[in-house]
Amino acid sequence: MKKIFTLLAVSMLFLNGKSQTTLSFDGTDDYVAINKSYSSPISALTAEVWFKTSFTTAGDYSNWALICFDRSEYWHFSIEGDGRIGFHSTSVTGATDDFWSSANSALVNGTWHHAAVVFDGTDKIIYVDGVEVARKVNAHAGGNIGRSGVTRFGFLGDGSEADFIQFFN
């Protein structure tokens, strides 16, 4: 079964909410590099997307990365085939916290939805269509997200562990 995933108007704080582009991914190996990287721990973040998909399947990591800065080094935001929103992150000590909302088949029905993930410095929070749907209290025991001294660039779509990006003019 081919995964079809469409991402609209990616808006993250560091993008200043100005994206007005529609992207469509075929579910195989598509991605867009973001000219943003982390190389030190993150004390707080908010990332949000508009997306639609009709790909359904069970299991963790079964659908598509919405935004990825390498789950094992910084953070990863995903939609699973059963409609769970995932917010995965690694602490400064290297402990990875995989966190999902509850399954929601309405999120994989081919209609547009808005999802946001927040790390407020303590808790990880997932919002869907403007409603808080999951919260992990003290997700990293009071620590920040990300490993010091490791540089990772971000991607929309297929995840990556890129420590550099070459842009062409």
pLDDT of residue 52: 81
What was the pLDDT predicted at 62?
56
Listing from the earlier edge strand, what are the strands of the sheet with 75-79?
31-38, 152-157, 64-68, 75-79, 85-90, 96-100
Is the backbone of residue 110 left (phi > 0), alpha (psi -120 to 50) or beta?
left
Q: What is the pLDDT of residue 153?
A: 81
> Domain 5-157 is in which class?
mainly beta
pLDDT along the chain (169 residues), means of 10: 40 42 57 76 91 74 74 88 92 93 90 93 96 96 89 72 46
* Distances from the Cα of 44 to the Cα of 62, 67, 144, 158, angstroms: 27, 16, 8, 23
Parse the chain into domains and list their residue ranges: 5-157
